[in-house]
Structure 1
């Protein structure tokens, strides 16, 4: 039986919703203010194939589970370079929810 997968767009939106819910507890007040004031004009939410760093942080097998997970980056595009506030690994498998966030330090 194959897994029931959400669309990439649905998983990306879910990751962003989780980011918004937890940002105040995991980012500095200055970073929250910066994101809130600049996200309308310069914010981005970018989905991609999970990078190699996840296998060192969580039990993630890129070869076996690549279709079931996406990586979502949330940040701002600014003149000095992108500011990434969170990198999120989220499951697309509706029967096996999972999310792990690496926050900006």
Structure 2
């Protein structure tokens, strides 16, 4: 079922970050956007990892570890991680998929 056409983890992480930047104004508060923009150069992080179990409540399919990457976007300030977005993105060039969760968007 898997196609052999996969983006590299680095490529798909970059794509996830671009999507985050595009959608942030509609999903984060003005204060969060200002905070992120102010500190992202020195304290920002973009981490990729295998998708965790929490995605089961958001997507109705089995997440194949080799086909999807979980990307976390946030800031590390005063030794604490502030998560701005959690992204599930497909590496499959022929089956694009991206879902974002905005942990700070509930404010």
Same fold (TM over 0.5): yes
Structure 1 runs of 4+ off > 4 angstroms? none
**Deviation of residue 36 (structure 1)?**
0.3
**Deviation of residue 22 (structure 1)?**
0.6
More helix by share: 1
Taking only aligned residues, the RMSD between alpha carbons, in angstroms, comes to 1.2
Q: Which position in structure 2 is the counterpart of 1:46? A: 47
After alignment, is 52-61 or 26-35 more displaced?
52-61
- How do residues 3-42 of structure 1 correspond to structure 2 at under 5 angstroms? 3=3, 4-42=5-43
Gaps of 5+ in 2: none
Q: Is the 8 A contact 1:75 1:83 kept in 2?
A: yes
Q: Is the 8 A contact 1:73 1:87 kept in 2?
A: yes
Residue by residue over 1:31-53, the C-alpha shift from the partner in whole angstroms, topping out at 9 and shown as x without a partner, is 00000000001000000000001
Gaps of 5+ in 1: none
| 1: CA distance, partners of 2:77 / 2:99 | 26
SS at match of 2:84: strand
TM-score w.r.t. length of structure 2:
0.92
TM-score w.r.t. length of structure 1:
0.93
